[in-house]
């Protein structure tokens, strides 16, 4: 099992990152929370989870071990795969996910793409006693430089949204909230409109 990667960040998008470790580039699927905390360039360390499926080997990357543990708890729930777990961690920061589960807030979970009412209830029932209490001062999204509309669209399409629906959601966010938003804010607001 690969537990973490430490190397040079060669590329990052809201949905993925490429880290060069000793001349080998590893492609990792990441959440918006991890994306917001990664530097634009330089060395970094991502904690990993390797999912081996019949048709693919997928490496997921997380900025810290707490986010990785929350991801592993989410994928342990029946009906929740890696992409759905990343969508949950992209729609809410880790403390928000924990708080939502502990409060039994089905409406917040089912507003995330890929999470229906039954899956939201299953997540709450299965994980309510497993997630730790939300601590004061847990980090949410870090502030990053503004990105353009295309990065937000790419992230939403990668998360499974249809291109037309993603474009409408992003354009609506930019029209109502202004064009000076960071890319993760655009995506977060667009996710809440679905």
User: What band does 43 get if pLDDT is binned at 50, 70 and 90?
Assistant: very high
pLDDT in tens, 47-68: 999 999 899 899 999 999 999 9
Nearest 5°: phi and psi at 5?
-125, 135
d(CA 122, CA 112): 14
The domain segmentation of the chain, as residue ranges, is 4-62, 66-127, 149-192
CATH class of the region 4-62: mainly beta
**What's the pLDDT tens digit per position in 148-174?**
577 888 888 888 888 778 888 888 888
Q: Which residues touch 129 (CB under 8 Å, ≥6 apart)?
A: none
- Put simply, whether the predicted model's pTM sits higher than 0.75 gets the answer no
Specify the residue for token string 């000793």: 22
Q: How far is CA 42 from CA 10, 24, 63, 98, in A?
A: 8, 16, 15, 31
Residue 44's beta-bridge partner residues?
7
Question: Which residues neighbour 16 within 8 Å (Cβ) at sequence distance 6 or greater?
Answer: 27, 28, 29, 30, 158
CATH architecture for residues 66-127: Orthogonal Bundle (1.10)
Candidates 74, 45, 75; CA nearest to 61 is: 45
Per the structure block, which two tokens stand in for 33?
């929370």
Residue range 96-111, pLDDT digits in tens: 899 889 888 888 898 8
Is 149-192 a domain of CATH 1.10.8? Answer: yes
Strands 57-62 and 4-12, how do they pair? unpaired
């Amino acid at each position: 099992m690969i537990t973490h990667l430490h190397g040079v960040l060669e590329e990052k998008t809201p949905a993925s990152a490429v880290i060069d470790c000793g001349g080998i580039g590893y492609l990792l699927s990441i959440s918006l929370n991890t994306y917001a905390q990664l530097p634009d360039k330089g060395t970094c360390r991502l904690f990993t989870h390797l999912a081996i499926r019949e048709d693919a080997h997928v490496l997921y990357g997380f900025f810290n071990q707490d986010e990785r543990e929350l991801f592993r708890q989410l994928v342990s729930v029946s009906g929740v795969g890696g992409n759905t777990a990343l969508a949950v961690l992209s729609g809410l920061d880790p403390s928000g996910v924990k708080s939502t589960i502990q409060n039994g807030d089905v409406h917040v979970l089912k507003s995330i793409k890929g999470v229906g009412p039954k899956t939201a209830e299953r997540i709450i029932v299965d994980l309510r006693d497993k997630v730790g209490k939300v601590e004061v001062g847990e980090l949410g999204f870090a502030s990053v430089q503004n990105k353009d509309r295309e990065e937000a669209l790419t992230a939403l399409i990668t998360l499974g949204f249809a291109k037309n629906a993603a474009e409408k959601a992003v354009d609506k966010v930019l029209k109502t909230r202004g064009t000076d938003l960071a890319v993760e804010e655009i995506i977060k607001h667009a996710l809440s409109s679905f």
